[in-house]
A and B are shown apart, each in its own frame.
Chain A
Amino acid sequence: MTATLAIFLLFAGLAVVCAVQVVVQKNAMHSVLYLAFTVLAVAGVFFCLQAEYLGAIQIIVYGGGIVVLYVFVIVIVNLREVVPEKRKFVPKLVIVLTPVLLLAEVAAIVFGRAPVPASGEANGLELGAFSEALMTTYLVPFELASILLLAVLIGAVIVARRKDLHDPR
């Protein structure tokens, strides 16, 4: 077992354990803290996969932006009381069966076949190749992403604003 594989397994285990905690925690604030752990662990996985740019973006955008946004929303909405979660039989059956079937698929993928050998010499992705492809081949989606972000900025402000300045709510 190489050192890279050991570090990858460490981060992967951390990510999975914290992700389960996000879902099962009763208190929403605890869920947010576990979400932060998960996001940082996934960033570690990206670094192990030599996707350094992606790992940095993950830490900045998720760890620095989205998690703080969640904390603010939970403070504003004041999520304190626990919602009782009761369901009828058929939805419960679907909820149990879907993840079990998908888990079987995961097991088939991970343990089913021997690992496919890599197609090329794995010498790591160069940041140069990444940025060159982003700025040439994928220039149009890149620009569309900025239009999407602008639309989201305006749309979020319009949806969440108060209708009147003196509206108490």
Chain B
Amino acid sequence: MIPVNLVLGLGFVLFLIGLVGVLIRKNMVIMLMSLELLLNGVNVIFAGLGRHLNSPRGSIFALFVIVVAVSEAAVGFALILSYFRQKNTYDTDDLNELKG
């Protein structure tokens, strides 16, 4: 039997690593990867709590999170490709066209 505290801790740590990745990296592709890590951490928490409460809802919500993560990855890549084609860069420091 796996203690629920350990599962919650693992989920939070994965979320934390993803958050750090989104904050410290300036490469757009690696920022998207960190977003995937973040959503994976949330999924671990959902699955662990579903197991703990002995309910299928945890898996169901995690399934919807996966659907949204896939959508986000697809649209994000389309945006990165489109941006790269116009500016030939993928650095977030160059994303300053809207600066006043």
Contacts and interface: CB of A to CB of B under 8 A. Distances in A.
A48 B2 contact: yes
B4 A155 contact: no
Q: Is the interface of A mostly helix, strand, loop or mixed?
A: helix
Interface residues of B, number: 71
A28 B30 contact: yes
Contacts, number: 225
A4 B73 CA distance: 33
Interface string A77-111: 10100010100000000110011001101100111
A130 B56 contact: yes
Contacts of B95: none
Interface of B: 1-10, 12-21, 23-27, 29-30, 32-34, 36-37, 40, 43-44, 47-48, 50-60, 62-64, 66-71, 73-75, 77-82, 84-85, 90-91, 93
Interface of A: 2, 4-5, 8-9, 12, 15-16, 19-20, 22-23, 28, 31-32, 35, 38-39, 42, 45-46, 48-51, 53-54, 57-58, 61-62, 65-66, 69-70, 73-74, 76-77, 79, 83, 85, 94-95, 98-99, 102-103, 105-106, 109-111, 113, 115-116, 118-123, 125-126, 129-130, 133-134, 138, 141, 145, 148-149, 152-153, 155-157, 159-160, 169
